[in-house]
Every structure is written in structure tokens, then in C-alpha cells.
Chains A and B, each alone.
Chain A
Amino acid sequence: MLDPGAMAGQEKSPPARGPPRRRFGRLTLDMRQRLSPWKQSGFLAGSLVIGLALSLGVLALAGIAPRTLAEELAGTLNADSLRAVLVQAAPLILVGLGASLAFRIGFWNLGLEGQMIFGGIAATGVSLYAVGPVSMRLIIMGLAAAAGGLLWVLLAISLKIRFRVNEIIATLLLNYVATYFLFHLLYGAWQDSKTAFPQSTPLRPFERLPDIAPGINSGLAIAIAMVVLAGWLVHLSRVGFYMRFLSANPGMAKVLGVPIQAVTIGAVAASGAAAGLSGFINIAGQEGRLTQSFFNGYVFSGVLIAFLSRNDPVIVTIVGFLVAVLYVTGQTLQVFYQIPFTMVQLIQAIIVIAVASSEFFIRHRISWTH
């Protein structure tokens, strides 16, 4: 640990009895005025390497030697696992997008899982009650899912605006409420009577996402379309400018007539809708029915993707693919080595902690003086 007492600013008031004796010298800490982008990326890369090395260490302790892992990774470098990554990336990109839109205006939307659940429930409901004509069914399901996620997050933001309920607590608790509501349906009215498992009846073929390439469903296309839309919104549109203004200086934004309430609610609603769509993609893509675990672990993945991409929709796509690689590897390790899937969560946490720590070294210069 640094000695905070020896941090900057001690020199200004010299003690009366001469300089104190220091046996080891001391650490001095000051703000960097600027750091070249190359060095910044260097620090970032360094922290990523440290994070990955720690993850390898944890894997080794859990019984996966680095060599086994390397062989496993080399073995998965084939068309099948590439397809799995592309399929897995779609919901991850969408939750990352959802998180980044809300984080941009300083709303901690940690209810992404609850919004995914209500997206999934809404989409499945459309299927179960056969809403709309067959040709339009999939589109209605997608819209219903977006609406489901949106309404669930609106509950949290109205609690915040109306009653000042902290959104971190509200959204997290609403995840549990949503989970139990899902269980209520899956162990009750919506249970598949044929299997008696806690799942809904399978979606009909025309209610599944069609493939855009063999083995890759159109979820990826939806995700990319949403990324383009969000990229335009955030980087090019007036709303994006308002969002930046709002997070940089809310007081000034208010004085200059930025519609703060509308922009905030809009961004949060978009965030919930993206998460709802992500649930739809998992239901109508990979799973093919409403299950009790299609949303597991997506909150933190969303936070991680938004954090690592600095809330930029375009970078969200790249990080989303990387996290998808992690998910697919984790699934492989789970199947073949009985490593629980929580390992993926642990590795994600280690990486966030490493990268977050690196920002300190990007912002501060530390020197050792005698």
C-alpha cells in the first residue's frame, strides 16, 4: 500500500525542527497532465495481461493446466465454435449496448437480467397466445420483448424520479422479483405439460429466428443493426450530444434548456428495450423456448462490456465478441472438465478489477524520492 500521508503536498509546510529523517525515501504521487495514447494503451494492455495471467492461475488451481487450456482452445478453433461465438455474441452485444446507454447518462441500470426476463416472457406470451398473423409473428415477438424490457426498466426509473429510490438497489432487487415471476410461470401456468420440466412449450418453427448463415441465427443481424442505430444516436444525433452534455455538466445542461428528463428517460428506456431484445434473441434463437436460466450472468457481462468499451456502442461490439469467446470456452470447460460456469464470472471480475486499477496509473505519476 502507498503511504497516503506522504502523498503530494507535504513540501509546502516544512516542520519546524528541520526535515524529518526518512529511512526508505517516499512515494510521491502527482496527476499526469497528459499521457500519450500509446502509453495509455500500454497500461491498458499491461493490465489486461495481468488480469488474464491471474485468470490462468485460478484455472490452474481449479485443475486446468495452462497447457490443457491451450490445447482446448486450439481444438475449439474450428467452424463449429466460431459459429457458437457468433451466436453467443448477439445477446451479449445487446446487453452491453443496454448497459452503455444507461451508464452514459449516469443511470446504473443493473436490472439487465430482469429486463431480459420480461423480454423473454413477453415474446413467449405472444407465441403462446398466438398473437397476430403467422407471417408477422416473429416481428411482434421482438417488439413485445423490447416493450417488456422497457416497461420493467421504466418501473425502476419512475421509482427514482418520483421517490428518489436509488436505482442500483431498485434494479438489482427487481431482478429477483422478475426471476421469481418467471419461476411462477414456468412451474405453473406456462409449464410444458409434455416434459414436466420448468420450461415453456417449444416455439413453433416460424417463431424461431431464421438463420442468416448455416448455424448462425439472425440474432447477430439484429444486434448489429441496434449497434448501428445506437452509434448514430450517440455519436451523430442531437440526442447523443445532449447525453454527453448531461453527463458532463447537468447544471449547465439544465440552464441551457436541454430536456434533461426526456433525454434521461429515453436513454434508460432504450437500455431496457435492448436488454429485452437480448432476452428475445436467447429465447427465439439458442433456447427455442422460455427456460429458467436463459438470462444467467448477463448483468455483470453487460457492466463489463460497457465499462471496457467506455460506453461506446461501436467498441461494445468488439468487446461483446471477446466476452462471447470467454462464454463459449467456459461452456466447453464446463462440459469436458466439470468446471462450474461461475468461472466465467470470476474471470470477468478479475479483468474488470485489473483494468479499473490501471486507470490509476494512467492518471497519476508515481515516483520514488529520497
Chain B
Amino acid sequence: MLEFLVNWAANVPITAIPYALAALGLIISEKSGVLNLTAEGLMLVGALAGIGSYLTLAGHPAVALLVGVMAASVVSVLFATLVVVLRVNQVIAGLSVVFFCQGLTGLIGNVAHWQNKPIAGLGKLTFWPLSEIPVIGRILFVQDAVVYIAILIFLGVHLTFRYSIVGLNLRAVGENPAAADAAGAHVSLYRFGAVVVGSSLVGLAGAYISIVSVKLWVTGMVGGRGWIAVALVVFARWAPWPALAGALLFGCIEEVVPRIAAAGIRVPQYLVLMTPYLATIAVMVWVGARQRGALGEPGALGLPHVREERR
């Protein structure tokens, strides 16, 4: 039983990290007031770019992850231009970018023949002798590098939001752009930057899926994880640490399901695959039922800012 639990807990980060990084990226973007639905698409871009660079370049996992990050940032410039500069409806723009990315990655993966090619990917780090500690050793000290980097990223974003002038301005821009503008913050610049920086983390989440956890590319392999990340942001009330906790919760749920099946308990295969989506909906219901007042979203979420314009 202990073996089962340790094995389970040690595998949770592999499932949780994509959710955590994508949700954090979306939080950065949405704190600035830009409703960001692009995660599903940008994760696909990150995943495909990662695999593509892994297969065509030297096969360095670190390079592949970095290429995934950059590719998602580049595509996010399109979204940022649409919503920040051209003030397109943020839902329409987000959906279009998702479907744009789905189409593009499906096409490129197919034309370049990157489909179903297994790779070695990124291995695990072992912090000897800490890894030999019973129970927690295998859970905490035998993970891949991205897990530890992700925790540092969360810490960095938390500190930036809370203690830096950039974080303060970013939050101000999202809560009340007119006031932030009057106080001297460059609303459009902050929003543009927040979208691109946030999307780089979404790209990392995507590249993590293809390079570290699945280790190959299949069309549409993100499979709704981007939408779950969008839901996680609501669950976390737009705060970094709760997002990490939520991601770990989802990791636990998703990792326990195949283990139950492997333990010999017969469950219908396709009904089991529904679990992450049903769990997400259940969590959203819980959030809505628990909170009577506002859900805690930034005040100007989804609204374009136009200086001195009546609305």
C-alpha cells in the first residue's frame, strides 16, 4: 500500500506541472485585464515546436523546451495585437487563436512527419543522498528539472506581483486601467507584455507535455488541458499559489485513475477518461456555491481600455 502511495505521489508532478504553468501564465495575462482563452492553442504550439526542434536539432531537451517557450510567445504576439492594439472582442480573438493553432500544428506536424515519433525526452534528476530518504525521498528529490524550475517561477511571479512596482502596475492596469493610466502606467504596454510573458509559460507547459511527460507528438495531444487551466485560474481566484495547489489536486486525481484500473478494479475505459473534465466542472460548481459575492476576477477583465473614450 505504501509502495502504491509513494509511486502515485511521485508521479503527480508530471501531470500537475502543465496545469500549473499554464494556469500561472494565464494569471499573469488576466491580472492585466486581458481575458486569455488561448492556452489550449498555445500549449499545442509549445508542444509541437518542442518536438520539432528535438527531432531536427541535436535532440537537447533543454533546447526543445526553450524553443517551445519562444514559439508560444511569438504566436501570442498575434493575440496581443488583436486584443490590445485592435481591441477585438477577447473571446472571439482567443477562440480564433486556439483554432488557428490547432489547424497550424495539425498541418505542420503532418507535413513535417513529426507524428508518433517517440523521443528520449528529459530524464529525472536524482539528488543523492536526499533521494534515499524513505517515502519523501522519491517524491521530492527524484523529479525532472522543470518541476524545480516551475517552483522557482511561481516564487518569482508571486514576489513580482506582491513586491515590485511592475507587479503593482500590472494589477492596477487590470483593476482600473483609467486610474492606472492617470498614475502613469502604460496600459497597452503592460497588457501586451503580460500576454506575451504569460504565454511563454503556457508554451513551456505545452513543451513539457510533449518533451517530458508523453515524449511524442500526436495531433491535438493537449486534449483540453488548456481549458482546464482556464478553469483553474477561476478556482485559484487569480492568485499563483492556489493555482499550484489546484494543479496538484488535478494531478492527484488524474494519476489515481489509471492506477485503480491497473490494480484490477474493472472500470469502463472511456468513462474514466472523462474524470479530469468532470472534476473541473465539479470544482467550478464548488467555487460558485461557496462564494456568495464576486469570484475575485480583476475589475477590468475582458474590457479593452481606450483613453478618454465614453462607453
Name the distance in Å between A341's Cβ and chain B's nearest Cβ. 8
A360 / chain B contacts, CB cutoff of 8 Å: 86-88
Beta-carbon nearest neighbor of A173 in chain B: B277
B262 / chain A contacts, CB cutoff of 8 Å: none
- Tell me whether A168 and B91 are in contact in the complex, defined as CB-CB below 8 angstroms, given that A173-B277, A180-B273 are known contacts: yes
Check if B146 is an interface residue, CB within 8 A of chain A. Answer: no
Contact A168 B270, beta carbon cutoff 8 Å: no
A173 / chain B contacts, CB cutoff of 8 Å: 224, 227-228, 231, 277, 280-281
- Tell me whether A177 and B278 are in contact in the complex, defined as CB-CB below 8 angstroms, given that A1-B81, A357-B86 are known contacts: yes
Main secondary structure of the interface of A (DSSP, over half): helix
Contact B82 A357, beta carbon cutoff 8 Å: yes
Contact A166 B268, beta carbon cutoff 8 Å: no
B186 / chain A contacts, CB cutoff of 8 Å: 4-5
Check if B89 is an interface residue, CB within 8 A of chain A. Answer: yes
Contact B103 A343, beta carbon cutoff 8 Å: yes
Give chain A interface residues in 1-17, CB to chain B under 8 Å: 1-2, 4-5, 7-9
Contact B95 A343, beta carbon cutoff 8 Å: no
Beta-carbon nearest neighbor of B271 in chain A: A184
Give chain A interface residues in 144-198, CB to chain B under 8 Å: 159, 162-166, 168-170, 172-174, 176-177, 180-181, 183-184, 187-188
Q: How far is the CA of A346 from the CA of B111 in the complex (A)?
A: 14
Check if A321 is an interface residue, CB within 8 A of chain B. Answer: no
Check if A31 is an interface residue, CB within 8 A of chain B. Answer: yes
Q: Mark A330-370, 1 if CB is under 8 A from B, else 0.
A: 00000000011011111111101100110110000000000
Name the distance in Å between B39's Cβ and chain A's nearest Cβ. 11
Q: How far is the CA of A170 from the CA of B189 in the complex (A)?
A: 32
A356 / chain B contacts, CB cutoff of 8 Å: 82, 86, 88-89, 92-93, 96
- Tell me whether A342 and B227 are in contact in the complex, defined as CB-CB below 8 angstroms, given that A108-B91, A166-B284 are known contacts: no
Contact A184 B100, beta carbon cutoff 8 Å: no
Main secondary structure of the interface of B (DSSP, over half): helix
Q: How far is the CA of A356 from the CA of B84 in the complex (A)?
A: 13
A350 / chain B contacts, CB cutoff of 8 Å: 100
Name the distance in Å between A187's Cβ and chain B's nearest Cβ. 7
Contact B224 A31, beta carbon cutoff 8 Å: no
B284 / chain A contacts, CB cutoff of 8 Å: 159, 163, 165-166, 169-170
Check if B260 is an interface residue, CB within 8 A of chain A. Answer: no
B188 / chain A contacts, CB cutoff of 8 Å: 4-5
Give chain B interface residues in 290-311, CB to chain A under 8 Å: 295, 306-309
A294 / chain B contacts, CB cutoff of 8 Å: none
Give chain B interface residues in 83-138, CB to chain A under 8 Å: 84-89, 91-93, 95-97, 99-100, 102-107, 110-111
Which listed residue (A62, A108, A188) contacts B268, Cβ 8 A? A188
Beta-carbon nearest neighbor of B192 in chain A: A1
Contact A183 B100, beta carbon cutoff 8 Å: no
Name the distance in Å between A181's Cβ and chain B's nearest Cβ. 7
Contact A169 B227, beta carbon cutoff 8 Å: yes
Check if B230 is an interface residue, CB within 8 A of chain A. Answer: yes
Which listed residue (B277, B285, B288, B295) contacts A177, Cβ 8 A? B277
Name the distance in Å between A355's Cβ and chain B's nearest Cβ. 10
Q: How many residues of A contact B (CB 8 A)?
A: 53
Check if A327 is an interface residue, CB within 8 A of chain B. Answer: no
Q: How many residues of B contact A (CB 8 A)?
A: 58
Q: How far is the CA of A159 from the CA of B280 in the complex (A)?
A: 13
Check if A300 is an interface residue, CB within 8 A of chain B. Answer: yes
Which listed residue (A2, A110, A165, A183) contacts B288, Cβ 8 A? A165
- Tell me whether A176 and B86 are in contact in the complex, defined as CB-CB below 8 angstroms, given that A62-B111, A346-B107 are known contacts: no
A159 / chain B contacts, CB cutoff of 8 Å: 281, 284-285, 288
Beta-carbon nearest neighbor of B278 in chain A: A177
Contact A187 B270, beta carbon cutoff 8 Å: yes
Name the distance in Å between B279's Cβ and chain A's nearest Cβ. 10
- Tell me whether A343 and B270 are in contact in the complex, defined as CB-CB below 8 angstroms, given that A173-B281, A174-B281, A352-B92 are known contacts: no
Beta-carbon nearest neighbor of A110 in chain B: B95
Beta-carbon nearest neighbor of B103 in chain A: A346
Check if A280 is an interface residue, CB within 8 A of chain B. Answer: no
A342 / chain B contacts, CB cutoff of 8 Å: 102-107, 110, 219
Contact A176 B277, beta carbon cutoff 8 Å: yes
A108 / chain B contacts, CB cutoff of 8 Å: 91
Q: How far is the CA of A100 from the CA of B92 in the complex (A)?
A: 13
Which listed residue (A163, A184, A349, A357) contacts B270, Cβ 8 A? A184
Q: How far is the CA of A177 from the CA of B276 in the complex (A)?
A: 9
Check if A319 is an interface residue, CB within 8 A of chain B. Answer: no
Check if B289 is an interface residue, CB within 8 A of chain A. Answer: yes
Check if A307 is an interface residue, CB within 8 A of chain B. Answer: yes
Q: How far is the CA of A241 from the CA of B278 in the complex (A)?
A: 37
Beta-carbon nearest neighbor of B220 in chain A: A342
Check if B187 is an interface residue, CB within 8 A of chain A. Answer: yes
Check if A42 is an interface residue, CB within 8 A of chain B. Answer: no
Check if B234 is an interface residue, CB within 8 A of chain A. Answer: yes
Q: List 9 A-B contacts (CB under 8 A).
A: A4-B85, A108-B91, A164-B288, A169-B234, A173-B280, A188-B268, A345-B99, A348-B103, A352-B99
Among all A-B residue pairs, the 8 with the closest Cβ atoms: A346-B103, A342-B106, A163-B288, A4-B188, A349-B100, A345-B103, A184-B270, A164-B288
Given contact pairs A184-B271, A349-B96, a sample of 19 additional A-B residue pairs in the complex whose CB atoms are under 8 Å apart: A4-B189, A163-B285, A165-B288, A166-B231, A168-B230, A169-B230, A176-B223, A177-B278, A184-B270, A300-B95, A340-B106, A342-B219, A346-B100, A346-B107, A349-B97, A353-B93, A353-B97, A353-B100, A357-B88
